[in-house]
Amino acid sequence: MIRIGDLAKRAKISKRTLHYYEQIGLLPPSIVMENGYRYYDDDSVLRLQKILLLKSIGYTLEQIKQLLQDRQSAQEKENWAASFDEQIEFIERKKAELDRKQYYLRAAAHVIRLSGTRDAEDLLQVIEALEDRPLVDGVVPAEFGDDLPFTSEEKNILNRLPVLGSEDKRMEEMFSIFHRIKAIMPASPHSPEAQAAAGRLYELTLDLFEGDEELAQKYGDLIKPAPGEKPVVMGMDSEFVAYLDEMIEFFLKERKGNRDEEQ
């Protein structure tokens, strides 16, 4: 037999917890002396170990109480096995829910970093657009339907692009370049600072599109909003895209001119 204080120390829980388990009928002491001292036998110690195990993997005290009520060994084993299977399914569902919530948070953070918006309605629209789409490897992949002017090989390249809410490290470089460009937008897209950013952006774009410059242009045309229309990609409004286009166009023209002079 073991006293309540010693059992609490051994199990690394408080005496108050053991009193509560007694109060709700989950773990009554084996003996209560006239002076109020409580003692627990080996069966009670084993029962406490089961309670703590089940609690550690997410069972509620009510579920634990119900599971431990049947003391018939054969049936108890079946009950435990079935209950563990249910708990595994429950944990899998929770993991899926948490993965999706984590993705939504990353996507919202990316929207804020890309567009600067903190408008709750804009962020909710982003989340709503992703809600009914399946998560694949922790992200909602981009969709390129048969109605779009891309070959199957081009779609394979597009499917390898980093997507909003992903942990792809290339997203960080994209954010860095876009922030820099937005900061210099009041200046001419032909300015030395804008052209330095254009060079970085052009190199990253080629890397992202695996050297296919024509595909990069087709994709850029696809996500380009008409003046006054909402951005197809958050943060890529018509004013910003127009600035990018002029900046890159001038960069390529200057690069071609320099090459012609070298020849």
**Residue pLDDT, tens place only, 3-41:** 999 999 999 999 999 999 999 999 999 999 988 899 999
- For the chain, list residues with pLDDT below 50: none
Set out the domains of the chain in order of their start, with CATH numbers: 2-71 (1.10.1660.10), 149-262 (no CATH)
Q: Write down the pLDDT at residue 156.
A: 93
Please say whether the beta carbons of 22 and 29 come within 8 A: yes
Q: Write down the pLDDT at residue 28.
A: 92
Question: Look-up: residue for tokens 């696809």?
Answer: 222
**Is-above-0.75 flag for pTM?**
no
Q: Write down the pLDDT at residue 67.
A: 79
Rounded Cα distance between 28 and 21, Å, is: 7
